[in-house]
Every structure is written in structure tokens, then in C-alpha cells.
Structure 1
């Protein structure tokens, strides 16, 4: 990465089907998604699982003089990881690629789809699971209050320290996070807008509305961290279909019990 850190990508070879590029949620390492990656590989998809910067086995460490935000991940981490995965798997740079994203990974994925690199790398669609907007008005309490008031608290702590802390002070279990990234997330949660992103090189709010590839935003009925309304709020920024999946696999468990999601992704890709 441009800051000198490295970000490993888990690779699972497949046949000639589109590459499935998976992106984790906040505080999640790529290894957590191994069961679903293996299941998709068995269906003939080459699969790669990226890391969000500073998470999992990424070597980046957030500190006052080492920061990143939504734009940096969308413009640097995502395209570099895709290119590296395709090279390692022996795929052409324009091999068809589909995103399977979780939570924060889908928020950044929506930004990436609005970038020219998405077209250069032939990303033909995105399916999010538990990927919605953190907009507080789309949740009921106690999650609504946590997002509305907790966002201010987390933003304030990260400003003082230069990062959101890990260890005993990490009441969220998100792990150490960049102040810039966390502040942009908190602002997104208050306004449902992705504006004033650090170092942004384009108007993301305008370009997201022009995304021309299919986007499917899904969630399980018992996912308290991503409501239907949360998906609909993200769909107001990005043209997308919103769908509730059968089953009660919550916000995370689907990655370890992958049948429902692999079936839906298979159908999604077949329709592209």
C-alpha cells in the first residue's frame, strides 16, 4: 500500500467462472470468511478475500501520523488487492469480477464501483450481506442511540488519541481503527452522506448515483446491525435491489454457515 504497509489476500482457485472478491466488515479478519470462500471455490468460482487496512493480517497500524479513510480504501486497497489476486490466480486483469461484501466492506465497495478502476478491472456486480448504511434513523433503540450518540463519543476519543484504541478501551470490539476512517463512518451515520472524504479525487455522491452494474443488498431477518431500512438508505445512494434472505444467520454467522449466501450469490451471478 502507499503508506508502506502490506495487506495479504487469501486465495482459493476455481474454474473459469467470475472471480468472487470478498471484503470483510469492520473489525473482521479475512480468515473468518474461509468457510464461504471454500464453498464458492467448490462451485467453480476463483475466490479472493481481502483485508480492510489495519485489520486481520494487514500490517498497517493506525496512529496520528498514519491515517486512512473511505476514499483511501476504495482508491488504493481495493484495486491493488484485486490486481494482486488476479495475477496470483493467473487471471487476466479484465477477468469478470463480482464483489461479495460484508457490512463496512460493502460501504467501501459502493464507493469503488463509482471509480474508473471498477470498469478497468471489470467488476460486473456486487452482492452485500449485512451491508447497509449506518444512518441512525434506520434503526430502533438501543442501536439507534448507539449509532447517534456513540458515534460522537467514538469520534471524540479517536480525535484525542489519534486513533480508536484496541485492548481494554475498545468497548466496540472493532479493534484499533484510523481516526479518519472512524470519523467518516460516524458522519455517515448521522447524515447518510459520504461527503468531505479525506483526499477524495471525485464527487462520490454524484458518481455513485450513476453506477451501472447490478447491486444487491441483502440481510438476514435477525440482523440487528443491518436493518431493511439501513439497506434501503444505502440504496438511496447507489442504485440497488434490497432483499431479505431466508434464515436467521444474523450479521456474521452466514460466513461460517454459507449455504444460503452461496445459493443466492450463484443465482445473482447467473443473472448478470
Structure 2
């Protein structure tokens, strides 16, 4: 088996004092854009190492970020320690990108492409609405299984599963406890780990109303800014991915009416997650997407 360990891992400090690891792979292509890989909901960045290795072998400099409180992040959500979509888009993403570029000895404005999974795609769209889009030179977003959690876009069975998640994560965790503890009676019944209260309240509203308005602590009107974005965006999925039907990606794309948004089903049945461990199909399509930017 091909080794998938990163060349180095950079602990990146967040404003709350926690650290998030940024895993780095050096590609041989000096003129290629940086690929920033962003995990999905409840996923650790380490899960994406085979994908990162595959892209680095194809010449790309690659970094895998971490969502706060997930994977190897040191952040621990409590009633008094919380964060939401705005914090991730305005703090976590730009800090980790800068750490990656510094480690790779790339200039701040070196072009980059996001390869974003699931919730990572949601946050990517919010990041792209900020001035960091130009400063850090984001050229495009390549989503895999990335969409909105808006319930009407899912089939009835998956909609019921999302509804159960919304009840526990959003109602009990976000509004009741002030955070979702992850394990209850020693077991993680929902499967997404410990999550911040503000984030879960916002996710619940997203699920019910397809709304990203009034994010906790926001310093700008994200919805208005996203509506002005002109950026290449490709939403891909595998046909057996019940966690992200095409309608879910279309609901996320409603926030991007001026972007060049396209949708594509990928060959094979690698579901919502398995493609990151068997990355050939995604890597092939990503290379062709990157070549058009």
C-alpha cells in the first residue's frame, strides 16, 4: 500500500486558543495551484490522506484542513465555548490557508482551489463571499457530496434520518444543552461527535429553511455577498450518495446565482465518504477541472 503520511503537520492556532492541524504534501508542479481539502461534518482531516497523496503524486501542492472541534482539532465545545459557520469561514479557513502557504513557501496570493466535502462545501461558499477570496486567490470550488441539508431536497427515508439528527443536534444540543456532547451513555448514537451549539442552531435553520442568514457574530451580509460571486463551482457526487442528492447541491447553489455552477454525477458507487479512501475517480475529474481555471 502506498504511504499516505503528510510531509508535515502544522498546528494552527485559532482565536479561542485551540489548534487545528494542517496536513501538508509537497507536489512537484511549481506552477500548479494549491489544493485545499476541507472535510465534511463529523469527519477528521486524516480521513482524506489517500486523496491528498494521490493529488500530490500528480504534482499539486496539497493541504488538508480541519474543521474546529473535529478530527485532531483541540477545540472542545461546551455551553460557554462555541462557534458557528461565520467563525469557520472567517477564522479557521484563512488561518489554515496561510499556514499551508507559508509552510509550502508559496506567496499569499498563490492560486488555490478548494476540494470540499459535504459541510466543507457549505463553509467554502461562505469563505468565497469574503475579501479573502481575492487576497488568498481562490480560483474555484470543487465539491464532492457537497450540498444544503434542506430537508425537502432528500427522499423521505433520508429526510427522516436528517429530522432525527436535527432533533438531537439542533434542538437538544444547540438550543437545550448549548452544545452536542457526541457520546450519550458512552455511545455516539448520531455519529457526528461533539459539536458546537451555535453551529448546530445554524445547521438546524439551514435544514428547515435553507437559510444562511443572521449567522452568529457575522460581520457582513453573507447571503448578499454570495449572490454577487462570479466563480467556477463544480458540484460532483456519486449516484449512490443518499446524503447528497443533486437537489441538495442545487439548494446550496441557490446562494450563488451569478457563479458558474455545474453539476456532475461521477462513475462508480463510492457513496458519500468512501471516495476519499479510493481517490482515483475524484482525482481524475479534479485534474480536468483545475486545467480549465
The bucket for the TM-score relative to the shorter chain is over 0.9
Counterpart of 2:122 in structure 1 is: 107
**Partner SS state of residue 7, structure 1:** strand
Post-superposition Cα deviations, 1:172-210, rounded to whole Å, max 9, x if no partner, equal 110000011011111101111101100111111111111
Counterpart of 1:86 in structure 2 is: 101
Alignment of 1:188 onto 2:203:
no
**Partner SS state of residue 237, structure 2:** strand
Counterpart of 2:180 in structure 1 is: 164
Q: Counterparts of 1:15-26 in structure 2 under 5 Å?
A: 15-16=29-30, 17-26=32-41
Separation in 1, partners of 2:205, 2:125: 17
- Given the alignment, which residue of 14, 33, 48 partners 1:33? 48
* RMSD over aligned Cα atoms: 1.1
Report the CA distance between 1:154 and its aligned residue. 2.4
Counterpart of 1:5 in structure 2 is: 18
Structure 2: where are the runs of 5+ without partners? Answer: 1-13
Post-superposition Cα deviations, 1:88-111, rounded to whole Å, max 9, x if no partner, equal 011111000000000010000000
Report the CA distance between 1:169 and its aligned residue. 5.2
Q: Counterparts of 1:57-206 in structure 2 under 5 Å?
A: 57-148=72-163, 150-158=165-173, 159-167=175-183, 168=186, 170-206=188-224
Report the CA distance between 1:157 and its aligned residue. 1.4
Report the CA distance between 1:165 and its aligned residue. 1.3
Structure 1: where are the runs of 5+ without partners? Answer: none
Separation in 1, partners of 2:145, 2:37: 13
**Partner SS state of residue 66, structure 1:** coil
Counterpart of 1:271 in structure 2 is: 292
Separation in 1, partners of 2:50, 2:102: 23
Q: Counterparts of 1:189-228 in structure 2 under 5 Å?
A: 189-228=207-246
Contact 1:24 1:30 (C-alpha < 8 Å) held by counterparts? yes
Report the CA distance between 1:152 and its aligned residue. 3.3
Contact 1:13 1:89 (C-alpha < 8 Å) held by counterparts? yes
Separation in 1, partners of 2:240, 2:55: 24
Moved more, 230-239 or 77-86: 230-239
TM-score, normalised by the number of residues in structure 1: 0.97
Alignment of 1:248 onto 2:269:
yes
Post-superposition Cα deviations, 1:7-63, rounded to whole Å, max 9, x if no partner, equal 110000012210000000111111100001000000110000000000111110000
Report the CA distance between 1:117 and its aligned residue. 0.7
Structure 1 runs, 4 residues or longer, greater than 4 Å off: none
Counterpart of 2:8 in structure 1 is: none
**Partner SS state of residue 226, structure 1:** coil
Separation in 2, partners of 1:118, 1:2: 20
- Given the alignment, which residue of 46, 58, 61 partners 1:43? 58
**Partner SS state of residue 188, structure 1:** helix
Report the CA distance between 1:171 and its aligned residue. 1.8
**Partner SS state of residue 8, structure 1:** strand
Aligned pair count?
Answer: 272
Report the CA distance between 1:145 and its aligned residue. 2.1
Contact 1:70 1:184 (C-alpha < 8 Å) held by counterparts? yes
Report the CA distance between 1:166 and its aligned residue. 1.8
Separation in 2, partners of 1:172, 1:214: 34
